[in-house]
Amino acid sequence: MSRRAATRAGVLMLATAGLVGTLAPQAPAAPATTTAVAPGAGAPARVTGVDPAERLRVLRTVVDSGAATWDMARIVEGGRTVWKGAAGTAVRGTGRQVDPDGRFRIGSITKTFTATVVLQLVGEGRITLDEPVETYLPGVLPDGDRITVRQLLNHTSGLYDYTDDPRYVPVDDAGLARWVRTDRWRTYSAATMVAEASERAPHFPPGQGWRYSNTNYLVAGMLVQRVTGRTWNQEVERRIVHPLRLRDTSMPSASPLIRGPHARNYTRLPSGPVDTTELNPSVAGAGGAGVSSTADLARFHSALFRGTLLRPAELTEMKRTVPTGLGVRYGLGIQRLDSLDGLGCGPLWGHAGGIHGSAAYLFGDADGHRQGVTAVSLYGRADTNAIVTRLNEAVACTGKGGAA
């Protein structure tokens, strides 16, 4: 989730780094699976620009390359799934196939949910985007009188990113082993993590630069709770998950479980692989604790960009972007990708995310008509960016230069 690792991996890995762990060597893979879906039972799939065989080949290639234990993807047009597929092994050491409808940790895609709730509160007149954070959370930030709500949501606050601290994200084998044994079960306090991050020098004065910082969204979650009297999790589920009937989506506080069907993730230690699918997500909080599925994420994206969740004024603010210096523009909890790093289509709107071995990508067009969603259990190889770029291109693009 940190910018440090995002820069290393490239723009399509932005927001997946920091908490994305390395994975164990892959077990013998189960066959890839694919499904093409079209209106009407038994009707052949006919989707402009979607070649099911090519999409499946790319999924298989990612697993065969050693970059991932499994991956899955879905393409949705007009609210209908037109293709979905999966490759790899759901459980190491077995031939169990990956369920393309399964659930996974979505990491920083959670930020888009959190930002949507904040913008709903803006639309209700309970929060003002350009009001200082100090107005709502007095004494929480040293520069709270100069950092605005908008600057939290678009990462221009300058706040130090707490995930750059090895106490929260291991940077060596010893730290990773400690995390596996004990730290992944700890419950972390957002207020404590924000306080500790505030003791570190900011990256720049508020509004004078851009740097991805997960601390911003811990503060945003605290803001939601102060204004509504309910936790950010409760508000996301009350305002988004339940109304949209996102049955695979949850925003856990501290539960280490992924409920429902899901593939496993592994962390590689010098002594061998360890199953680390279960972890306490409180370390990610409002910036990355979510669990979902490709179907639910596509539905969320469609509702968001079709204006179901936000009024036009707030959706316009969400899409008001700033440059990042990484070849991608950032709005309020949303990324805009143009044609870059080999991605042959655009602009695409959405977010990437990752947390300890699991990465996810949600991108689609500006009017919510088409979505491409990918989830992958990464090994963390040096060439991961090129592989993931190709994977996202295959899923998000029509193949003819059009936006997903």
Q: Kindly list the domain boundaries of the chain, sorted by start residue.
A: 3-396
Return the CATH class of domain 3-396: alpha beta
pLDDT of residue 379: 63
pLDDT of residue 5: 35
Is residue 108 part of the annotated active site? The answer reads: yes
DSSP 8-state symbol, 309: S
User: Is 77 strand, coil or helix?
Assistant: strand
Catalytic residue among 2, 65, 108, 157: 108
pLDDT of residue 28: 34
pLDDT of residue 3: 36
pLDDT of residue 215: 98
pTM recorded for the entire structure: 0.89
Q: Is residue 364 within 8 Å of residue 300, measured between CB atoms?
A: no
The dihedral over CA atoms of 278, 70, 8, 319, expressed in degrees to the nearest 10, equals -80
Mean pLDDT for each consecutive 10-residue tract of the chain (404 residues)? 35 41 32 45 40 86 86 94 94 91 97 98 98 98 97 98 92 91 96 97 97 98 98 98 98 96 87 89 97 98 98 98 92 86 72 89 94 85 65 67 33
**Total number of residues shown for the chain:** 404
Q: For helices 52-64 and 384-396, give the axis angle rounded to 10 degrees.
A: 160
Q: Is residue 149 within 8 Å of residue 223, measured between CB atoms?
A: yes
Q: Cβ contacts of residue 8 below 8 Å, gap of 6+?
A: 17
pLDDT of residue 33: 59
In degrees rounded to 5, what are phi and psi of residue 111? -60, -35
Q: Is residue 145 within 8 Å of residue 268, measured between CB atoms?
A: no
